[in-house]
Amino acid sequence: MDKIGTVYLVGAGPGDPDLLTLRAARLLARAELVVHDGLVDPAVLALAGPKARFVSVAKSRARHTLPQVAINALLVREALGGRDVVRLKGGDPFVFGRGGEEAEACRAAGVPVEVVPGVTSALGAAAAAQIALTHREAASVVSFVAGQCKGLAEQNWAGLAGQGRTLVIYMGVKTAPQIAEKLMADGLAPDMPIAVIENACRPEMRVLRAPLAGLPDLVEGERVKSPALIIIGEVTARDDAAVGQLVSEFAQ
């Protein structure tokens, strides 16, 4: 029987190539075919070896270059044709990355599939902005949700945000007004601190802060663009006064 290739679903992290896993870097270095989406930073693609061929299946809300079924079919076709495929995705493949669908398509077609985790943007952004997603004094629960339009009204976020909890919202730039409204309707205080982190782990990163009620104005006034994350919770407002107190505790 002819050789069947393997599909590697590889997390490319949030931007900075230093945040790739060694396994991702090694797979890229020997890749023949790299199928990547729009969020993958060019600096990461530059780590691919000289024989790599690139196929972009860039996806954004406005422009869908290839529908998901066509991406699944492409991966399966190339692997059945005998080629290993590095399917490179921003962040982690299994966090809002449709990696689950691609893995299922491969398994259904009898194509071996391996998953290489990546630093999901929530973790990259939190690290870059020095916002501890959990903190003994501020949060012991952290949740990741998708904030895009489709089904936003039906999603049940009850209990995910509030005192002692951190909520990280992916894909929420366009729907920021509805998100703020939804959370306040669920009982969140309008002055709950939030942060918006745009282009995390890239040179152009911005970290913006506001109270929850000010989120829509912040996004509009600052012209926040995707990719950006919204972090809701007290951990976003651990200011220098709190840090100063910690330092003085250590000094004693």
DSSP secondary structure letter of residue 158 = T
Query: Amino acid letter at 72?
Result: N
Q: Which is nearer to ligand SAH, 5 or 116 (CB)?
A: 116
Separation of alpha carbons 212 and 143, rounded Å: 17
Separation of alpha carbons 91 and 232, rounded Å: 20
Q: Is 182 a catalytic residue?
A: no
Minimal distance in Å, beta carbon 10 to ligand SAH? 11
Binding site for ligand SAH (CB under 6 A): 14-15, 39, 89-92, 95-97, 120-121, 125, 170-171, 197, 199-202, 226-229
Separation of alpha carbons 47 and 30, rounded Å: 10
Owner of token pair 């954004």: 60
Q: Which is nearer to ligand SAH, 13 or 193 (CB)?
A: 13
Q: Which is nearer to ligand SAH, 5 or 14 (CB)?
A: 14
Question: Would you give the end-to-end CA distance of the chain in angstroms?
Answer: 72
Select the residue whose beta carbon is closest to ligand SAH and give its number. Answer: 91
Active-site option among 3, 16, 51, 59: 59
Q: Is 37 a catalytic residue?
A: yes
Q: Are 186 and 157 in contact (CB under 8 A)?
A: yes
Minimal distance in Å, beta carbon 250 to ligand SAH? 32
- Which residues have a Cβ under 8 Å from the Cβ of 238 and sit 6 or more positions away? 131, 132, 135, 137, 138
Minimal distance in Å, beta carbon 235 to ligand SAH? 17
Q: Which is nearer to ligand SAH, 4 or 207 (CB)?
A: 207
Minimal distance in Å, beta carbon 251 to ligand SAH? 36
Residues carrying an active site annotation:
37, 59
